[in-house]
Amino acid sequence: MGEPLRVGVVGCGNISTQYLTTLTAADDLTVVAVTDLDAARAEAAAQTYGTRAVGITDIYAMDEVEWILNLTTPALHEEVALTAIANGRSVYTEKPLCASLAAAERVAAAARDAGVALGVAPDTVLGTGLQTARSVLDAGVLGRPVFATATMAAAGHERWHPAPDFYYAPGGGPLLDMGPYYLSALITLLGPVAAVYGAGSRTRDERIIASGPRAGARIGVTVDSHVTAILEHDSGVLSTIVMSFDAPASTAPRIEVHGEAGSMVVPDPNRFDGDVLVHAVGGTWQPVAPSAGYVGAGRGCGLIDVARSHDRRTGRATAELGLHVLDTMETVLRSVVEHARLEVSSTCLVPPAVPLTHVPSSGAGA
């Protein structure tokens, strides 16, 4: 193994604990420093995970830092990424790549011009759940895929998040928040999306925070809290997606794929593992043993994948895929407004499959 990939983390909010747990346990990289607008929060993270806290502007100029891990809110993704790129750092960002496609395209162009690399979550598609499902499809077990369904139905993030305001403001909503997991999975399994039909609704104009220091506070809702769409994949497969913050509960599988010879239940794309089930025509549901993907993965696995690449740049959680996912979601939201079938302007290559590989220790056997 070569030198560990050296990472600086910008943003020490809720999601950072999952990333830092994964990354500080990995042999493939080292977390050089963390920073946050709240210096106390950065210091607490540094103490917990054995790194150091630095000023919000200092981290970009640190010679030790090769990659900036951007864990800020979507509204700040562009600013943080462009600052990092301007300082010659590669960037891996929490999803979505930016709050808008136009901003994401600016970031991608800046990275190309600067000759630095760019990656984006979700990296859950690299785990054993989605990668095993992909191996089932690649092996032809389902025959020719015909259609898929994807359902994310929840009561809303205000039930658990102490500061959920941005989920209900422009750049938020169930599609832009949770859609990256489901669309990244569907595109990984079935290929890029060519066109969409979308519809949406907003159940109420305010939400009540249920936990944390602001419990009981009311926040406004200015985006649709329920979005559904039909996706036409280049392959001819049709996917139907439901992304909702308006459902008390659901028993629907997160993702199902149906082919001429069989059907498959795909585990939650917001997780790295989970059971894959296959039902052949005339058969019964049968579990599939994990056969591909990173075993024991957690958030940040996409950066571990970068560290293990031949050039420490070409991870599978690509900006190209992230841009296409964001383009598809924005096209769905435009379709909601225009009540029309709209073509998606971008496309992408599906990243290579992941062989069965262990994380976090690079010395573990497959």
171 band by pLDDT with thresholds 50, 70 and 90: confident
360 band by pLDDT with thresholds 50, 70 and 90: low
Q: Which pLDDT belongs to residue 198?
A: 98
How far apart are the C-alpha atoms of 39 and 45, rounded to whole Å? 10
CB 114 within 8 A of CB 85: yes
How far apart are the C-alpha atoms of 219 and 208, rounded to whole Å? 6
Segments in the chain forming alpha helices (H): 16-23, 39-49, 74-86, 101-114, 128-138, 173-190, 301-307, 319-338
What's the rounded mean pLDDT across residues 262-290?
Answer: 97
For the record, the structure tokens of 232 come out as 């036409």
Inform me whether the pLDDT recorded for 298 exceeds 60.
Answer: yes
Contacts of range 53-56, beta carbons closer than 8 Å, 24 or more positions apart: 56/10
Q: Where in the chain is CATH 3.40.50.720? A: 5-120
Q: Which phi-psi region, left, alpha or beta, contains residue 14 (left: φ > 0; alpha: ψ -120 to 50)? A: alpha
Averaged pLDDT score across all residues of the chain: 95
Q: Which of 29, 96, 112, 15 is nearest to 361 (CA)?
A: 29
Give me the count of residues in the chain.
366
What are the backbone dihedrals phi and psi of residue 293, each rounded to the nearest 5 degrees, phi first?
Answer: 100, 170
Q: How far is CA 155 from CA 65, 90, 105, 200, 248, in A?
A: 40, 37, 32, 16, 5
CATH classification code of 5-120: 3.40.50.720
Q: What contacts 352, CB < 8 A, 6 or more positions away? A: 316
How far apart are the C-alpha atoms of 128 and 22, rounded to whole Å? 16
CB 232 within 8 A of CB 335: no
Q: Which pLDDT belongs to residue 133?
A: 98
Q: Which of 75, 145, 95 is nearest to 270 (CA)?
A: 95
Beta-carbon count within 10 A of 197 CB: 17
Q: Which pLDDT belongs to residue 1?
A: 52
Q: Which of 227, 223, 224, 248 is nearest to 154 (CA)?
A: 248
pTM listed for this prediction? 0.93
Q: Which pLDDT belongs to residue 120?
A: 97
DSSP for 2-66? -SPEEEEEE--STTHHHHHHHHTT-SSEEEEEEE-SSHHHHHHHHHHHT--B--TTTGGG-TT-S
**pLDDT tens-digit readout, 201-223:** 999 999 999 999 999 999 999 99
Q: Where in the chain is CATH 3.30.360.10? A: 130-291+324-343
* CATH architecture entry for 130-291+324-343: 2-Layer Sandwich (3.30)
How far apart are the C-alpha atoms of 184 and 192, rounded to whole Å? 9
Angle 101-114/74-86 helices, nearest 10 degrees?
10
CB 205 within 8 A of CB 154: no
How far apart are the C-alpha atoms of 210 and 356, rounded to whole Å? 40
What's the rounded mean pLDDT across residues 337-363?
Answer: 89
Inform me whether the pLDDT recorded for 364 exceeds 60.
Answer: no
**pLDDT tens-digit readout, 107-152:** 999 999 999 999 999 999 999 999 999 999 999 999 999 999 999 9
What's the rounded mean pLDDT across residues 33-54?
Answer: 97
How far apart are the C-alpha atoms of 74 and 99, rounded to whole Å? 5
- The percent of residues above 70 in pLDDT, for the chain, comes to 98
| Angle in degrees, CA 200, 268, 122, rounded to 5 | 80
Q: How far apart are the first and last CA of the chain?
A: 16
Beta bridge partners of 70: 10, 93
Beta bridge partners of 220: 206
What's the rounded mean pLDDT across residues 142-166?
Answer: 94
Q: Which pLDDT belongs to residue 170?
A: 85
β pairing state of 226-233 and 193-201: antiparallel
